[in-house]
Structure 1
Amino acid sequence: MAKSINEDVRVVVGIDFGTTFSTYAYAHKENKNDIFVNSDWKSFYGRSKTPTTLLYNEHLKLLEWGFSTLSGRQKKARGLHWIELFKLCLMKSAQKPTLPLRLDFETAISDYLHKLGDSIKQTLESKWPGLKFFSQVLLVLTVWEQVPAEYDKVAINIMRECALKANLIKIKESPYLIFTTEPEAASIHCMKNLKEYKLKIGDSFMVVDCGGGTVDLSTKILSEGEKLNEPIEQNGEDCGGSFVDKEFLKFLGKKVGQSAIEKVTKEHHGDLQRVIQEFWQFVKIPFTGESENFESYELNLVEICPVMMQYVDNGYKKKMEEDEWVVTIEFDDVQSMFDPVIEKILGLVRSQLGKREDCSAMILVGGFSESKYLQSRIKKEFSASMNNKIFVPPEPMVAIVKGAVKFGLNRGVIADRILKWTYGTDILTDLASNVFDTMVKKGTRVSVDEKVTRVYKPVSKDQMKIGFDLYTTNRDNAKFCNDPHVNLLGKFAINIPLNSDSRSILYSLCFGTEIQATATNIESGEKYETTFELDI
């Protein structure tokens, strides 16, 4: 069972394990305002993040991770496997990558977290020599919001198992690893900007986290004491910036042939990524959506990706030779790459606003939020309803990882949450056993440290113990604890003296950053407490 975090914690580390890019940040509890984002990635994607990619040989031995998978050092080797987007395997996504046989996604996640953890440990040791990683460091791992309710417990459980295999924690239930959602972390990070945005107590604001793989939306209310309330459920979808890259590759495939793109993807993944980086740097981010300011961009494959030329068949080769292997990218081409993705994002914002129309401001974070075209489309449609309060904070790419650190330093910043599960226990009635007795329903807003209580009695006079198994379901009408949609979260029991006059037990659930379950013998005062992970 998880337990409260040890007072010995000295350093909090936020880990943004992203679909396309990852990073970490850290702060010492004695200097909470000094949050450092690791900047030693030596990556052409920018110094704040490294690609969430892995490179294995034909025997599935890990060779490289992150930016080094794109360095080209393995060009002559055969049978290599470049692995990316494997985080999407945690959810029921149509965008899941195809992994090599004998390589499961849990192994890929564990391998990546192990390498990321090695970097974290080296960084912390160099900054605070002698720091005890497993007892003085709290890890805060961000998870994305749109994991389906019936699957998020499984996903978090898998992440704990992967973290254990990666040597980030000593035991699976370690209290030195906690979770927060990406939009929640982004909201916490943006709190310092709220006064600048002229938001006052009681105002609600939406954070739109536009990442590489996913876009997550969260609406919060600013409350007293610099705390955040959650008035409505969050939502999100797979429509991040990497999907613009995919549209770009489709465009490029029309010039050189889709088979050439597929072969370079398989045999020279690093070279293809440098083509995407060229597009990202000189076309994708600068694109404003204004044709008068756009200059055609010439992508020279001889300079950027000469290896692609050998895979272009005769159907495309003659035209490419006439163009001297230069692919010209026009305004309409770029707009057609962006628009399908942006339309999905606009639809998500409309849906979120439809749940709460009095939203006072919108804050864009995440790497894709740096896109001028995305910013302009969002402002064009929603500025009037937001009174022009649509903002992009400084360093939007690292908003999540910094917010994760702030959450670890002060978990009380989240004043309440909306429960994604119905919680209950099993009881015996006159008609049946194993009956699901609901304690609190999904969709209920619970304040941090709020208690839900029930009184139970043993079913027989000679019963010396009473069990309090805790179950969860995504339904409102569960009848029995062995129904397919009901899952056991944990169990414990409490002793009942036979000579007790009143054998009633007070069972309570307290929803803080974890669920604290307490069973108290009302007459004797004997108490049993344990904690369970709160599925966020």
Structure 2
Amino acid sequence: MSLRNDIEIIVAIDFGTKYSHKKNPEIIINDSWPGQIGALRTNTALQYDENYENVLEWGYEALIKEPQRKGRDKNFANEPVELFKLHLSAIPDSEKPPLPRSLDYKKAITDYLREMVLTVPEEYPEKSKRILRECVYNAGLIDYLPSERLFFSTEPEAVAIYCMQILKELEFFGTSEGKSFLVANCDDAIVNLTTYKFISTDTPSDVIEHTSDFCGNNYVDKEFTKLLKRYVGDEAIKILEERNYGQMLYMMQAFRGRVKYSFSGIQQDFKLCEFDLERLCPAIMKYVTGSYKEKLEKDYWIIGFDFETTKSLFDPIIEKIIRLISGQLKNRSGCDVMFLLGGLSDLKYFRKRISEEFENKVKCIFPRKSQTAIVQGAVEYGLKMEIIKARIYVSNVWYSQSHLSD
């Protein structure tokens, strides 16, 4: 293709629900973001001015910088905006996060891409891909709307290509004919399970089964929010999210750092974690009423998480994923290798539960830096686009047929 002869640089952008990252064809991971050094991705977040016209902060800094209050600074900023990517997906409207009335999700996506200088989830309908292309054009990343310099690869395709590189390193191909591998991409909102079968030693593979469900990384955060409601009441959380969303995000970040990513599920290693609401989220003290307030005042506005309470935040999501994996392994009479990727695969407790459940059934691989799996596979696709030969449409999901030729 003559166009590809003119391409010198390939950039893959994983436009994530909560995080985004990019990569160049030398397989060098971008690790320098505004306010972050050494991070492999940055938050998919924006902070706008009062009228939601101009972006004041982008990525990680949109979450950590305290908004200027009205009357104190002419650059008054709204609370950070997150999760706008979910408005592109085919998930039910009830699962889509609310956005400010004066902010259209297309503008948020365009503004984010403009600041950022794609891979897409497989469940994205063609309409969403057209909207993404329009946003990329409006952000100035392509010169004209139907530009052939913008290609979309689905996340399962990119992840599968990435996994193939690992299998090569493990010298799996020597005896690969007839074998299969399962990719469990446990991302922020949706967990996608895809099983691939090698059709020859040098021509993997056909997709032989795919399942997905809403049980990703975000749902652990939702369990934490449910737990907070038990201590402060539903109404207090509702008002907090409406009036002081920045403080809610700050408290969520504290949960992720102090609980979510440190909990191992081993009781001997566990230390009681306490949340001082007066320090972490002072605004909520104004919204808690009745018996909730009386109890918290007696406890000096401190919430403690014991082992079983902490474990209960993870178990509903992990058990659902275990059922999904078990069902797919059973339907296909097992497989030889299973890759665990995505945000959940970074959690110590998730790794422990999955390893214990499946260690005698399939070889489990948790790749290092799995959070970059999508962009690594997307770059490989950009370098060798013939990897994806043809796509077939099955059950409202795009699949690839023989799309991983060596």
Report the TM-score, using the length of structure 2 for normalisation.
0.87
SS at match of 1:10: coil
Alignment of 1:473-488 (within 5 A): none
Q: Distance in 2 between matches of 1:277 and 1:397?
A: 18
For the structure 1 residues 357 and 39, does the alpha-carbon distance in structure 2 shift closer, same or farther, using more than 3 Å as the test?
Answer: farther
Per-residue deviation, residues 249-270 of structure 1 (Å, max 9, x unmatched) = 1111221233332233233323
Contact 1:214 1:237 in 2 (8 A): yes
Alignment of 1:96-175 (within 5 A): 96-117=96-117, 141-147=118-124, 152-175=125-148
Which protein, 1 or 2, shows the higher relative CO under an 8 Å CA cutoff with sep ≥ 6?
Answer: 2
Correspondence for 1:412 among 381, 386, 399: 386
For the structure 1 residues 65 and 174, does the alpha-carbon distance in structure 2 shift closer, same or farther, using more than 3 Å as the test?
Answer: same
Match of residue 87 from structure 1: 85
Alignment of 1:236-275 (within 5 A): 236-275=212-251
Correspondence for 1:70 among 54, 63, 71: 63
Q: Distance in 1 between matches of 2:228 and 2:3?
A: 51
Match of residue 297 from structure 2: 321
Contact 2:68 2:77 in 1 (8 A): no
Q: Distance in 1 between matches of 2:386 and 2:250?
A: 43
Compute the displacement of 1:195 (Å).
4.5
Contact 1:54 1:62 in 2 (8 A): no
Compute the displacement of 1:390 (Å).
0.2
Match of residue 332 from structure 2: 356
SS at match of 1:231: strand
For the structure 1 residues 72 and 231, does the alpha-carbon distance in structure 2 shift closer, same or farther, using more than 3 Å as the test?
Answer: closer
Correspondence for 1:232 among 202, 208, 233: 208
Match of residue 296 from structure 1: 272
Q: Distance in 2 between matches of 1:74 and 1:232?
A: 50
Alignment of 1:362-511 (within 5 A): 362-386=338-362, 389-414=363-388, 416-420=389-393, 446-447=401-402
Q: Distance in 1 between matches of 2:132 and 2:2?
A: 19
Q: Which amino acid aligns with 2:156?
A: P
For the structure 1 residues 417 and 296, does the alpha-carbon distance in structure 2 shift closer, same or farther, using more than 3 Å as the test?
Answer: farther
Contact 2:67 2:77 in 1 (8 A): no
Per-residue deviation, residues 272-325 of structure 1 (Å, max 9, x unmatched) = 222112211221122222333322111122332333333333432232222222
Contact 2:21 2:42 in 1 (8 A): yes
Q: Distance in 2 between matches of 1:58 and 1:228?
A: 53
CA RMSD of aligned residues (A): 2.9
Match of residue 219 from structure 1: 195
Query: Which deviates more from structure 2 when the two are superposed, residues 79-88 or residues 91-100?
Result: 79-88
Report the TM-score, using the length of structure 1 for normalisation.
0.67
Per-residue deviation, residues 315-350 of structure 1 (Å, max 9, x unmatched) = 322322222221101112122211221222223323
Q: Distance in 2 between matches of 1:43 and 1:263?
A: 31
For the structure 1 residues 412 and 445, does the alpha-carbon distance in structure 2 shift closer, same or farther, using more than 3 Å as the test?
Answer: closer
Q: Distance in 2 between matches of 1:161 and 1:85?
A: 19
Contact 1:15 1:25 in 2 (8 A): yes
Compute the displacement of 1:225 (Å).
8.1
Give the % identical residues.
36
For the structure 1 residues 155 and 351, does the alpha-carbon distance in structure 2 shift closer, same or farther, using more than 3 Å as the test?
Answer: farther
Compute the displacement of 1:380 (Å).
2.6
Compute the displacement of 1:373 (Å).
1.7
Match of residue 457 from structure 1: none
Alignment of 1:17-96 (within 5 A): 17-27=15-25, 32=26, 34-43=27-36, 47-63=39-55, 64-77=57-70, 80=78, 82-94=80-92, 95-96=95-96
Compute the displacement of 1:224 (Å).
6.4
Query: When you count strand as a share of all residues, which structure comes out higher?
Result: 1
Contact 2:205 2:401 in 1 (8 A): no
For the structure 1 residues 351 and 158, does the alpha-carbon distance in structure 2 shift closer, same or farther, using more than 3 Å as the test?
Answer: farther
SS at match of 2:329: helix
Contact 1:22 1:51 in 2 (8 A): yes
**Consecutive aligned runs of 4 or more in structure 1 exceeding 3 Å deviation:** 195-198, 221-228, 442-449
Compute the displacement of 1:447 (Å).
4.6
Contact 2:206 2:402 in 1 (8 A): no
Q: Distance in 2 between matches of 1:164 and 1:296?
A: 50
Compute the displacement of 1:363 (Å).
0.9
Contact 1:213 1:242 in 2 (8 A): yes
Q: Which amino acid aligns with 2:116?
A: L
Match of residue 192 from structure 1: 165
Q: Distance in 1 between matches of 2:128 and 2:60?
A: 26
The structure with the largest alpha-carbon Rg is 1
Contact 1:41 1:49 in 2 (8 A): no
For the structure 1 residues 235 and 145, does the alpha-carbon distance in structure 2 shift closer, same or farther, using more than 3 Å as the test?
Answer: farther
Contact 2:14 2:119 in 1 (8 A): yes
Match of residue 439 from structure 1: none
Query: Which deviates more from structure 2 when the two are superposed, residues 259-268 or residues 293-302?
Result: 259-268
Compute the displacement of 1:157 (Å).
1.4
For the structure 1 residues 309 and 206, does the alpha-carbon distance in structure 2 shift closer, same or farther, using more than 3 Å as the test?
Answer: same
Q: Distance in 2 between matches of 1:281 and 1:444?
A: 36
Contact 1:58 1:81 in 2 (8 A): no
Query: Which deviates more from structure 2 when the two are superposed, residues 405-414 or residues 222-231?
Result: 222-231
Query: Which deviates more from structure 2 when the two are superposed, residues 288-297 or residues 238-247?
Result: 288-297
Q: Distance in 2 between matches of 1:375 and 1:57?
A: 41
Per-residue deviation, residues 122-144 of structure 1 (Å, max 9, x unmatched) = xxxxxxxxxxxxxxxxxxx1111
Correspondence for 1:331 among 307, 314, 321: 307
Q: Which amino acid aligns with 1:400?
A: I
Residues matched between the structures, number: 393
Per-residue deviation, residues 191-238 of structure 1 (Å, max 9, x unmatched) = 232145452332321111112222222223456686542332433222
Match of residue 6 from structure 2: 8
- Unaligned 5+ segments in structure 2 are 71-75
Contact 2:24 2:379 in 1 (8 A): yes
- Unaligned 5+ segments in structure 1 are 118-140, 423-441, 450-511, 513-536
Q: Distance in 2 between matches of 1:85 and 1:233?
A: 29
Q: Distance in 1 between matches of 2:187 and 2:398?
A: 26
Contact 2:137 2:145 in 1 (8 A): yes
Q: Distance in 2 between matches of 1:21 and 1:443?
A: 24
